[in-house]
Amino acid sequence: MKRHIPNTITCCNLISGCIATGCAFYGQYHYAVLMIIIGAVFDFFDGMTARALGVSSPIGKELDSLADVVTFGVAPSAIIFYLFHQVHYPEILVPFREYIPYTAFIMAAFSALRLAKFNLDERQTMGFIGLPTPANALFWGSLVLGQRAFLVSLKFNAVFLFLFMLLFCMLLVSEVPMLALKFKDFSWEKNKVKYIFLLGCLPCFLLGASCFAAIIVWYVALSIIATRLHLA
């Protein structure tokens, strides 16, 4: 019986992603983001449970990736899809307004590619190369939830949204090493970049609903700086 527990948790992640996607299509951003966060919690515990019970299996790994594609790939794509229907369009793009929102699902494809790459990349056992899909999903959910008024204003438009989306698609499959928050010990010397990251997160919480978006931007920026300076 216990061998089914981790897969059940993974399925809960999948169901959370499906609900998040449905909420996003109706513009219910609060519920969509909440279900993505719940899915992330299930995603965290399924692997941990499998290891604790000693029942890790190939099917569990495949099921985990399938669930992640939905929760952290399709759901944020659905959020962007709905946002494309609300943003301002330059006059030249108005004739294509009906079709441009479907480009949002490019992100789902890149998320799937990222997850497939992660499963095969032996370099990512203790860290990440490229932006993790849960971080990407939380970024978009938090951004739209906290900055919707700006995103649908005349200061922003569909071109900026499309280019911004492509930037994060590239980050998903990039070769940029990303900070892994795994502590082997708690010494400052071996973990200074991680401690700097955690300290830098504190002011982000003053941004309210946008805090996760700010934290992910800080995470990416610090990862790039640390790599450039050979600190991590």
Of 209, 140, 196, nearest in space to 172 by CA: 140
Which DSSP string do the residues of 169-225 spell out, in sequence order? HHHHT---EE-----SS--HHHHHHHHHHHHHHGGGGGGGGGHHHHHHHHHHHHHHH
Residue 5: closest CA among 68, 73, 57 = 57
- DSSP-derived secondary structure for 93-137: GGGGTTTGGGGGGHHHHHHHHHHHHHHH-GGGSSSEES--HHHHH
pLDDT at 126: 63
Three-state secondary structure call for residue 27: coil
pLDDT of 53 reads 77
Overall pTM surpassing 0.85 (yes/no): yes
Round to whole Å and give the CA distance between 127 and 42.
20
The answer to whether 61 and 93 are in contact (CB under 8 A) is no
Joined tokens for residue 179: 């900070």
Q: What amino acid occupies position 213?
A: A
**Residue 67, CA atoms < 13 Å, CB-side half-sphere:** 28
The CB-side HSE value for 169 (13 A sphere, CA atoms) comes to: 19
Q: Which residues pair with 128 in a beta bridge?
A: 178
- Averages of pLDDT over runs of 10 residues in the chain (232 residues) are 83 96 95 96 85 77 91 97 96 95 97 88 74 95 95 96 97 89 74 91 93 95 87 63
Delineate the domains of the chain, giving CATH numbers in brackets: 2-177 (1.20.120.1760)
The Cα 67–Cα 59 span in angstroms is 12
Q: State pLDDT tens for residues 97-117.
A: 999 999 999 999 999 999 988
Task: Give the pLDDT confidence score for residue 125 in this predicted structure.
Answer: 60
**Residue 146: which H helix or E strand, with range?**
helix 133-151
The pLDDT value given to residue 47: 78
Residue 190's pLDDT is 77
Tokens of 207: 């941004």
Distance CA 193, CA 156 (A): 34
Say how far apart CA 11 and CA 70 lie, in whole Å: 11
